[in-house]
Amino acid sequence: MRSTLLSLAGLFLFAATVRADDAADARAIVEKAVKALGHKPGDKLEAISWKDNGKFSGGGMAMPYTGDFAFQWPDKYRFAVSADLEGMKLTFMSIANGDKAWESALGMTQEMTGEKHEYFMNQVYNLGVTSLLPLLRDKEFKLATGGEKEVNGKKTVLVTVTRDKKPAVTLYFDKTTGLLAKSETKVKDQFQDWKEVTEEVYFSDYKDVNGKKHFGKMKIVRDGKTMIESTISDQKTADKLDAKLFEKP
């Protein structure tokens, strides 16, 4: 009996060591990516604003859009978008601040609740994950390796990010450059009655902006269909953004 217990204890100890080594390997992959962006692993994530010019397809609609975006980890996010739907000009805005979120369109503003609120807050969370720096500073994030796969003809190494009460996110890093090439997670799709589907986000066309690298193109594929293709520009970072940006519209 004693020998059996000792064997079991040895197995548990071995498993814990393997998990620790794997977490260290995953962290090393993220650190390489952070350095490739021009940061140091211990850096704090700066707030950032940017402009987006692209095309949205979903819910039976297809329309070009332009937008202004702002994000401040961990819980502040805002976008204001203007779109052209068959000649009709549309403007809408969404804002997250703490545990509150609002949407505004056609002169009306309402607070997000239920599945819409959960969805939008997870989008804010995903922005933090793909920004990478929080993964190295916040111990609530758990990292694990996920092997290798090709993304657009290039070899990538995978890291899976988990956190309590949040969807798992898999990050694909270019094996040569270290840069983030893709993220993948589960989301609830508003256009399919909140059905849970896979969302893949592709990042490309990295450019130097004030000494740091930022991706210049992004493609979002949801449930196997391209939903957004966009060009990102005018990236600006700051220690903190104007608090008024994140007030209820």
- CATH code of the domain made up of 2-246: 2.50.20.10
Of 15, 21, 18, 30, residue with least CA distance to 161: 30
Long-range CB pairs of 76-79 (<8 Å, 24+ gap) are 76/47, 76/124, 76/241, 76/245, 76/246, 77/123, 77/124, 77/127, 77/246, 78/245, 78/246, 79/52
Task: Specify the residue for token string 């607070």.
Answer: 111
- For 110-154, the pLDDT digits (tens) are 999 999 999 999 999 999 999 999 999 999 999 999 999 999 999
Query: In Å, how far are 38, 84, 202 from 208, measured between CA atoms?
Result: 9, 31, 18
Task: Report pLDDT digits (tens) over 155-184.
Answer: 999 999 999 999 999 999 999 999 999 999
**The two structure tokens encoding residue 7:** 């064997």
Locate the domains of the chain by residue range.
2-246
Tokens, residue 159:
């890291």
Identity of residue 60: G
Its pTM stands at 0.91
